[in-house]
Amino acid sequence: MPRRDPSAFTSTAKRPVDFDSFWFDTLAELATVPPNATFKKDELRSDDAVDVFDVRYDSYGGMRIAGWYARPAGRNAQMPGLLIVPGYVSEPKVPKDWARRGYAVFSAAPRGKLRSNSDFDPGYPGLLTHNITDRNNYAYRGFYMDALRAFDILAALPEVDQRRVGVTGSSQGGALTLLISALRVNSVAAAAAGAPYLCSSMDAASLTHSYPYQEINEYLRINPEHDSVVREVLNYYDIHHFASAIRAPIVVNIGLQDDVCPPETGFAVFGQIGSSDKKLYPYDKCGHDAGATAGHHEVVEDFLSLQLKPVAITNDEPPIVPESAVVADEVFSKFWSEIDSQVRGLSFDDMTLEPLPMRSTEGSTTYTVSLPSIGDGRIFGYFSVPAGDGPFPGLLEAPGYASVVHISPYERRQRYAVLTLVHRGQRLADEEYAAEYPGLLTDGIENSSTYRYRDIVADVLTGLEWLTGRPEVDPGNLGIAGSESGLIAASMRSDAVKAVLMSGPLILRGANGRNSWPDYYPLEELNDFARSHPAKSGKVSETLIFFDPLSFVPEYSGEMLVACPQWDRDIASPLISRLGGSGELYLNTGRGHVDHSYIESWLGERLSE
């Protein structure tokens, strides 16, 4: 049955009678903790145009919190400030792109994020339901204050014009944007909130099976007696109740097919916003992207520029051009043959497979998996098996460049026996080695044998080896979805993999396929490294050749879909033309729901039962 008009939705969130006093007390507690902020210049991430600083400060409860601060280098005049607040699972980026536009910009990493998780690390999933039955110790009490304190620190900097300070973010960042705009009503000059999360939270959980809200559904399925207290606690934290205090000019964007933050809750919170200068951008055929790649990113840039009036950097420094390098075919083959042999020689006798009732559903059972890999690494995974009689089509989800790997989407878990792999260095597989973001892309890059992506590909290959041997999996219907490491693994096991869906960013291909490296992260890591280690530029180029997906595709004989944005067409097209099997290049439309539907249909048709 089609869902009703989301704009007609009425929130069931109820504002507690002591809502104002609760937050007055919380702000008073925060004020008792001196910020003790420190700014340490990060020479590796800085360049001639932008200074970058690693920031640490004290926040609610005395917890030490991290952030990134970037500003135009050598600028003496005051400039506008911009706070960027992060999404639920994403790590805060080094905001050099916004600094180039002329902002003094702070990228906050509230508690639980990397560099802010030594004393508080509830995990993902986990944050949304951490202490959810205790309003005073609920996870978001400190989390909200961490973001607010970041704004206060930014606004107080001498180079920042306090009359021109804005805040922006999407998803959880959209929620924090609204929160800060409400709690610093006289200080926020402009705000841009995308796909806001934490709005009418209990309603949202009833409208979706997607994480993070699915955490609420899972918690209450295990603890149904807590329903009323969970609802009561969430009412204190619901952004719906903060929004009426907002007075700054603000733009809000939502996706009308968003299954992460349902559009119903976006319409409802927008209606609550008290500003007389507000505009809603609802994007049809968009999911949680909320129109970001359909033109809304430019809307945000133009809006903030109009309100905050930055002066962009003029930088004539030429881009770094990678040195050319060549690797002999026999050297390349030997390198990967040795890794392949090590993986084939692994024993899974000491693997563990444990049921995970909290993350299981009526249609699937989820397990945690711990596997050995080559070297001293162990890898983690979520293994989900549909209800009913198997075997089922198998799917390996190859992890991308991110610290957090989420459980497979609800729909996939009902259809496939799916292994969601967490490679070494990512959360839950980081006991021996913890990856840094930024940092992973250049970790050990001076030599192909020490490069971290060697281990990552080996981990994905190990996951594939394990999955192919599972009795729940139909060996004739096995696919891989996700990042470039999955394509590499499929090419090394071409006879076992029927279909490959590569929809993640083309990082390794982009590192090899362009005349210069882009100035956005994670590829900006290569520029940072080259500036700091110019004598090693040739070594970097040589190492990257070993990991170019283009070198592997002739060996893959199955079917492949590469989904990418228009601007990556030039580096993606050769993957199809050189493919040993049959392939298709799908250029994303910028409408996330349309793109998602297409690629999932493609995968489902290939992995038919």
Contact residues for 318 (Cβ-Cβ < 8 A; gap 6+): none
User: What CA–CA distance (Å, rounded) separates 204 from 572?
Assistant: 37
Contact (Cβ atoms closer than 8 angstroms) between residue 455 and residue 480: no
Structure tokens at 359: 């993350």
Residue of 90, 171, 373, 551 with catalytic role: 171
**Given the structure tokens 């549909």, which residue do they identify?**
386
Contact (Cβ atoms closer than 8 angstroms) between residue 77 and residue 102: no
Count H helices and E strands in the chain, helices first: 18, 18
Q: Is 130 a catalytic residue?
A: no
Helix axes 452-468, 484-492, angle to 10 degrees: 60
Residue of 51, 258, 459, 568 with catalytic role: 258
User: What CA–CA distance (Å, rounded) separates 447 from 376?
Assistant: 19
Alpha carbon dihedral 320, 321, 324, 325, in 10-degree steps, equals 30
Q: What letter would DSSP give residue 374?
A: S
CB neighbourhood size of 570 (10 A): 10
Residue of 130, 240, 241, 288 with catalytic role: 288
Name the burial class of residue 333, with classes exposed (0-12), middle (13-18) and buried (19+) by CB atoms within 10 angstroms of its CB.
exposed
Contact residues for 528 (Cβ-Cβ < 8 A; gap 6+): 44, 45, 47, 438, 442
Q: Is 171 a catalytic residue?
A: yes
Q: Is 430 a catalytic residue?
A: no
Extract long-range pairs of 524-529: CB within 8 Å, 24+ residues apart. 524/94, 524/96, 524/438, 525/438, 525/439, 525/440, 525/441, 525/442, 526/320, 526/322, 526/441, 526/442, 527/47, 527/319, 527/320, 528/44, 528/45, 528/47, 528/438, 528/442, 529/44, 529/442, 529/445
Q: Please give the single-letter amino acid code of residue 224.
A: P
Contact (Cβ atoms closer than 8 angstroms) between residue 98 and residue 70: yes
Task: Tell me the catalytic residues.
Answer: 171, 258, 288
